[in-house]
Every structure is written in C-alpha cells, then in structure tokens.
C-alpha cells in the first residue's frame, strides 16, 4: 500500500503533464504519481513517464471510467486526485493530505470558487454553471461543500474503497460530492488558487452538453439518494392537479345536483390514485435506503479492517 498516491487522469495533455508531475513530485516527495492515459493521441504518456510517473492505460473513454480503474487498482492511505491540465496548484496538496491524515477527513475538496476561479476562468457559462450546481447540491442535500465540480480532491482509503463509480464522464465530481454527503462522511474544504489553462492547452469540456449531463445527474442522484423527497414532490404535484380540476366538478354538482363532466371526474380519480402510488413508492424506497445505509456502515468496518491488515 502506498502512503500517498497522486492520481492524474489524462487525455491529450502533452502541453502540461510534465510540469504537473514534476510539481507534485516536488511537494510530495514520498508519493507515487500515477498517470492514467485515456486514449491520448499525443505524447502524454511519454512525457509523464519521463517526468517520473507510473503510466497506465484506460481504454474506455471518459473521466468516470478512468477514475473507476484507478480506484480499483491502487491502494494507498491517502489519495490526491488532480487534473493534468496544470490549473490546480501542487502547493496545496500537503494541506489536503494533512486533512485526511490528521483530521480524519474522507474527502477534501479543493475549493476554487472561493478564490480566483471567477477571475481566471474565461468561460462565463462555466462560472454560472458551477454556481448553479453548488446551490442545487447544497440545498437539496443540506450540505456546505464550497466547490462541487472541482477536479482537485483528496480521499481516504475508506472513501475510495466504498465509493461505487457510476458516472462515465465529467459528472463524476458531482457524484462524488453527493456520495460523501449521503454516507455521512467527513468533508473538508481547502481554498486553492485556480489558474486558467496555459496557451495551447484546450479544455475537453463542452459547456452545454456537459452542463446538461451534470444537471440530469443531480436529478438522478436526488431520486436515488432521497427517494422520499423526490416521489413525495411528484405525489404533491399530481394531488394538487387532481384537486384543482375536481373543484369545478364538485361546485357544479352542489349547484345542480348533477355531474355533467364525468371524463374530468374520472381523470381526477386516476391522477389522485397515481399520487397515492407515488407517495407509497417514496415511503417504500426510503425504508430500503435506511437498510442500505446500515449495510454501508458494516462495509466501512470491513474496509477499515482491510486497511489495517494491509499496512
């Protein structure tokens, strides 16, 4: 088991990868640096190896697929995950490692949004999107993570070995944040200085398509992690619609003693039945989620035992 493992997922980062690897070797001399090349068509692998990194391949395209492979293959007491584009300062890594080792943090978030992100990032829709995602997650899941989509994080062994990677692409960071909050793991925020990509280095993100993916991921994860709230909200909307359309029918009946809008009455009845069913589904799934959380706590104990025996 490594003491510290620096994980760098890469796709066509030949302009910056050599500097990123050497920067982290300088600030974390006892760490092992792993670069996972995700089908790059440039010299990313050669330059990373030249800089002293352990280079491995992941052939399934997508950042989520790379991280899945990293988390499965590498054992370490502390993990640092960072992008290979040289937008995150290596100098903050020791503080993040310290939070895991000495503060028992399970996930440490490199917070760009509280420092220079909005000044350095030249893409206004990215800035707006980050703010929307942060607001959504913190309000839906009752947390205070400062930067939901940052690619600079530190993890404990327990987090890495109990985290089921489901996303395939850049929405992986959102999934990580929600998983940590839902599982009652300790999350720390460390403010970092963000810098935009250097000249010649191009972002792989698409503002609109990736933004839509992230928002859909939030909805999906809210359904999975908070089923009672999700299905109850749908139930309330359906019940309200049923009641609103039923009121005129009931009012006409009191005035004339005759129901002359039977189709509306029947539809209202079906909609109300659907509302009750959605509420029942929410209650049932919420009960299953409670059992799942208990099972997760047992799994944490097992993983902690594995960590101790592998040292």
Q: Is the pLDDT of residue 118 over 90?
A: no
Q: Where are the alpha helices (DSSP H) in 141-206?
A: 157-162, 172-182
Q: Is the pLDDT of residue 117 over 90?
A: no
Give the angle subtended at the CA of 205 by the CAs of 201 and 210, to the nearest 5°. 175
Where on the phi/psi map is residue 37: left (φ > 0), alpha (ψ -120 to 50), or beta?
beta
What is the SS3 assignment for 142?
coil
Q: Is the pLDDT of residue 73 over 70?
A: yes
State residue 28's pLDDT score: 97
Is the dihedral angle over the CA atoms 166, 169, 172, 174 positive or is it negative?
A: negative
- Per-residue model confidence as pLDDT tens digits over 3-43: 999 999 999 999 999 999 999 999 999 999 999 999 999 99
User: Span 177-204, mean pLDDT?
Assistant: 82
State residue 125's pLDDT score: 58
- Per-residue model confidence as pLDDT tens digits over 196-217: 766 665 655 565 676 787 788 8
CA–CA dist 26, 11 (Å, integer): 23
User: Span 42-71, mean pLDDT?
Assistant: 95
Please state at what angle helix 124-140 crosses helix 207-225, rounded to 10 degrees: 0
State residue 167's pLDDT score: 85
CA–CA dist 202, 204 (Å, integer): 7
How high does pLDDT run on average in the chain? 89
Q: Could you tell me which CATH class the domain 2-224 is placed in?
A: alpha beta
- Per-residue model confidence as pLDDT tens digits over 233-280: 999 999 999 999 999 988 888 888 888 888 889 999 999 999 999 999
Q: Which of 50-54, 93-97, 116-120, 229-233 has the lowest mean pLDDT?
A: 116-120
Percentage of the chain modeled with pLDDT above 70: 91
Q: Which of the two residues, 96 and 148, has the higher pLDDT score?
A: 96
> Phi and psi at residue 81, in whole multiples of 5°?
-110, 130
- Per-residue model confidence as pLDDT tens digits over 279-308: 999 999 999 999 998 898 888 888 988 888
């Amino acid at each position: 088991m490594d003491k510290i493992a620096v994980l760098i997922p890469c796709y066509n980062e030949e302009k910056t990868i050599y500097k990123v690897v050497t920067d982290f070797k300088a600030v974390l001399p006892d760490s092992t640096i792993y670069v996972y090349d995700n089908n790059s068509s440039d010299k990313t692998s050669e330059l990373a190896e030249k800089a002293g990194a352990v280079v491995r391949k992941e052939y399934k395209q997508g950042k989520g697929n790379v991280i899945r492979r990293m988390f499965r293959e590498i054992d370490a007491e502390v993990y640092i995950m960072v992008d290979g584009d040289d937008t995150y300062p290596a100098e903050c890594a020791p503080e993040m490692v310290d939070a895991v080792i000495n503060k028992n943090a399970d996930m440490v978030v490199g917070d760009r949004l509280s420092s220079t992100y909005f000044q350095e990032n030249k893409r206004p829709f990215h800035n707006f999107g980050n703010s929307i995602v942060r607001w959504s997650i913190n309000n839906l899941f009752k947390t205070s993570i400062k930067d939901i989509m940052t690619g600079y994080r530190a993890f404990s062994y327990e987090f890495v070995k109990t985290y089921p990677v489901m996303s395939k692409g850049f929405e992986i960071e959102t999934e990580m944040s929600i998983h940590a909050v839902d599982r009652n793991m300790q999350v720390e925020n460390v403010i970092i200085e963000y810098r935009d990509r250097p000249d010649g280095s191009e972002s792989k993100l698409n503002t609109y398509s990736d933004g839509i993916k992230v928002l859909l991921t939030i909805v999906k994860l809210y359904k999975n992690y908070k089923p009672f709230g999700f299905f109850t909200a749908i139930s309330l909307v359906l019940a309200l619609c049923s009641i609103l359309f039923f009121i005129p029918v009931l009012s006409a009946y009191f005035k004339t003693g005759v129901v002359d809008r039977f189709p509306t009455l029947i539809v209202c009845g079906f909609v109300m039945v659907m509302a009750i069913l959605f509420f029942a589904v929410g209650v049932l799934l919420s009960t299953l989620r409670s059992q799942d959380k208990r099972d997760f706590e047992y799994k944490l104990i097992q993983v902690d035992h594995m960590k101790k025996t592998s040292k």
